[in-house]
Structure 1
């Protein structure tokens, strides 16, 4: 209503910069209310209006772009909206319109993730490097760079280039992540176990979750389960590793434990992919495949970059003989996490189980593994 009045009465009702602020805050509010299409449209309108004011020299940039309402921040929110409604390419296009010097740490992190999802590895590496330069202790950025085959020496050099060197335990932790990224799971497990047993990080939930995930990637489900269980007990509100723990419960037919884990995770947050992944596992093991597909789809909608969500949905689609759709999900999961063994295992098993040669050719051509 205020914006309509401002449009009809001009500056006699509201100053131009205040009108921009009102438009921008409305767009951000709509995003919080999960009205993503309306939010994106209003944020885009705000950005265009701000540019017209600056081009006409009607207001100063310092009066227009106040904290929280800069062009970079609005475009970041626009990209988030595009991602949620399944438009990652549009999200990437929006982010690329912001100059490198104006990009924040979280901006570069999202940009790097989208570049990685799109297979643009060199651009992803550049974005993650910027994150690590600004925040040398950003473990997620360091892990992303290692997964993109950047040498450990280069990653640790970036981390150590700041005013204060990172603690030794952090560099050891990154060394463990590097071994995992290079598929040397035995070395990774050894490094992480040593860190857990002989450092100030004993009983740290994040370290234990990382160790449990590494066991899982190694295919050692027997060791992975108790470690992931302990991590969850230490930090029951953390989502780290719960999807893999749910996968282990599912494969071991521990229906009761899976039900309890799913309920606990849903109570923490419904805005993460993890609770919906666990609900999908629970429905599938309970022979409710339709609901399982629905929850898996919801998980992927909430977080299109969720490897666990993509793998789960791909597996469910494969079970329903929807080969091409399943192949797309597995290909995307492999793009995000080429070190994960599940897509290779499932596709190999599927090829051996298919008797129709034409179906085998179709599956192989779709995946190009």
Structure 2
């Protein structure tokens, strides 16, 4: 039996789980000197077989075997022998009857928890791992427990567990990220790092000063982003980028922060740098896909999605990017199918819910959009989920709920011009609230003069109120300092509405020279040219759409499912 046990342990170490399971069947039936296996030995054999089953991803079988192993551990030698020794048993050495198990019961409990987690029974997994004594909880156990608490909504317990992870090892960076997202302050996280001590002479007596400094910056960066202070977060990530050049994780964080700040060019540049560092990375590539779609870069999005599908089709980011691709091709039902597929792959992937919410809105499924954005918000609240909620509530229409969502965003991001603009958007939806909307837009511009979203919203409001001259002056004022294609497009639209067709044409052309992929400018220019030729731009739209469907070619790199 010992030979079988040793060989089975070797097979498990080598990851040969199929062979280990087959050998385990023989081990469980191997004869012994007294033809009866002592419970403690049987328990060890069961754990080995359960490990093989877990390795084969037969989680329910493994769960059953681990439980049986724990039951065997609790059977005393007296119980195992039935209370009375036979003459044959009396002649056996006593050591065979008092074999102590070598298995760690707490480790087996942890493995039972992992089996529950693998079959999506989160509550049972949490209950099992919580039963492990605190002193026996290793770093791995505490990290799993923290994740389980977070998955089940026990944020306070999750925070405590993540803090314990950092006490055990300050380099558990995912714990730092999680604590930041859970609202822990930078000061609290810093207190968990090794402290720099000084001797009486004032000299530093620890080797941890340099690691502590960059760990603090790392925590500050993620805390800034979690608190919607993207500029502060970006400053810290840029510092780390200089300290650790070509760091994939830092490049992705910089790209996402730049995107959140509305700096699309910088965002694309840093995503491209990240892909140069590791072309097979999938993490955050759905965020890159969203940015490419926003910028109208169809060719690069097409290339990105095909690449991701060839890298790893089991990741949620791949299917989110696929959904964005089909939305770009104006096949929204198919795009929604891929968004749902992403959620099935990982039901805690927030970006998938944001994409799903936007697609539901486009398909006039406003109630479903509300549910998707609420789920995204619960997982990882950011401006996009608030914006989606506002749009969905206004589409139902539920203006009061829309205003509550916008004000909730303003409370979460008190210094954000985007949040102020969002409140203005709700008021602008109602003709009676447009005066308040104007005040919020103007307040947003005082808060952040360079936020062009508020400029465009205010110009649009002026246009709806018939104040085209004010809209024109506002846009021309900002164009002196910002050569932005969206400003030129909006000004072209305002000028076209006032029959200043020549000036409108000039601004459309300028917009397209800045960004040839600007769809709004392309469509606006087409309509303007028809109008200038004396053709009703709306008359031929249906015919042109039908012609466009016939001409819609497959992706350059081939169709994908």
Structure-2-length-normalised TM-score: 0.55
Compute the displacement of 1:236 (Å). 1.4
Cα distance change on mapping 1:290 and 1:180 into 2, 3 Å: same
Q: Which has the higher contact order (CA 8 A, sep 6+)?
A: 1
Corresponding residue SS for 1:237: coil
Decide which of 47, 57, 60 is 1:21's aligned counterpart: 47
Distance 1:146 1:285 in 2: 34
Which residue does the alignment assign to 1:34?
none
CA distance in 2 between counterparts of 1:325 and 1:364 reads: 19
CA distance in 1, matches of 2:358, 2:100: 51
SS at 1:232 equivalent: helix
Counterpart mapping for 1:164-183 below 5 A: 165=208, 166-183=211-228
Change beyond 3 A, Cα 1:361–1:270 = same
Deviations 1:23-58 (A, max 9, x none): 313431332xxxxxxx33212202210111111036
Match of 1:114 in 2: 148
Q: 2:357 matched to 1:350? A: no
Paired position in structure 1 for 2:161: 127
Post-superposition offset of 1:164 = 5.1
1:111 counterpart SS class:
helix
Distance 2:267 2:124 in 1: 38
Give a deviation string over 1:150-183, Cα, whole Å, max 9, x none. 2211211212259852242332222222222222
- Residue aligned with 1:64, SS: coil
1:44 is matched with: 63
Distance 1:216 1:173, change over 3 A: same
2:193–2:212: 8 Å Cα contact kept in structure 1?
Answer: no
- The 1-side partners of 2:49 and 2:42 are apart by 11
1:225 matches 2:268: yes
**CA drift at 1:129:** 0.8
Alpha-carbon contact 1:76-1:107 (below 8 Å) kept: no
2:286 to 220, 227, 243: 243
Cα displacement (A) at 1:104: 3.5
Task: Name 1:136's counterpart in structure 2.
Answer: 170
Other-structure match for 1:184: 229
1:299 and 2:318 matched: no
Question: Secondary structure in 2 aligned to 1:154?
Answer: helix
Match of 1:159 among 187, 193, 213: 193
User: Hey, what's the Cα distance between the residues in 2 that align with 1:363 and 1:97?
Assistant: 44
Residue aligning to 2:557: none
| CA displacement 1:59-113 (0-9 Å, x = unmatched) | 86753349xx931442343144134xxx544443444343433334343333323
Given that 1:113 and 1:124 are in contact with CA atoms closer than 8 Å, whether structure 2 keeps it comes out as: yes
CA distance in 1, matches of 2:344, 2:76: 41
Distance in 1 separating the partners of 2:314 and 2:169? 26
| 1:108-148 per-position Cα deviation (integer Å, ceiling 9, x unaligned) | 33332332233321111011112211220122211211222
Q: Residues 305 and 91 from structure 1, CA distance in 2 versus in 1: closer, same or farther, beyond 3 angstroms?
A: farther
Q: For residue 348 of structure 1, report the CA deviation from its aligned partner.
A: 1.0
Distance change >3 Å, CA 111–CA 136, structure 1 → 2: same
Distance 1:265 1:150 in 2: 34
- Which of 327-336 and 14-23 deviates more? 14-23
Instruction: Output one character per residue of 1:220-242: Cα deviation in whole Å (capped at 9) or x when no partner.
Output: 33432211221122121222321
* SS of alignment partner, residue 257 of structure 1: helix
Which segments of 5 or more consecutive residues in structure 2 lack a partner in the other structure?
1-21, 78-97, 197-205, 409-561
> Which of 158, 183, 207 in structure 2 is aligned with 1:149?
183
Which stretch shows the higher mean deviation, 169-178 or 40-49?
169-178
User: Over aligned residue pairs, what C-alpha RMSD do you find?
Assistant: 3.4
Any gaps of 5 or more consecutive residues in structure 1?
32-38
Alignment of 1:212-291 (within 5 A): 212-291=255-334
Q: Per the alignment, do residues 218 and 29 of structure 1 end up closer, same or farther by CA in structure 2, a change over 3 Å counting?
A: same
In 2, Cα distance between the equivalents of 1:40 and 1:230?
40
* Counterpart position of 2:486: none
Compared CA separation, residues 239 and 57, structure 1 to 2 (3 A): farther
* Distance in 2 (alpha carbons) for counterparts of 1:270 and 1:145: 30
Matched, 1:209 2:246: no
Point out the structure with max Rg over C-alpha. 2
CA distance in 2 between counterparts of 1:60 and 1:364 reads 69
Q: Which moved more, 1:231-240 or 1:2-11?
A: 2-11
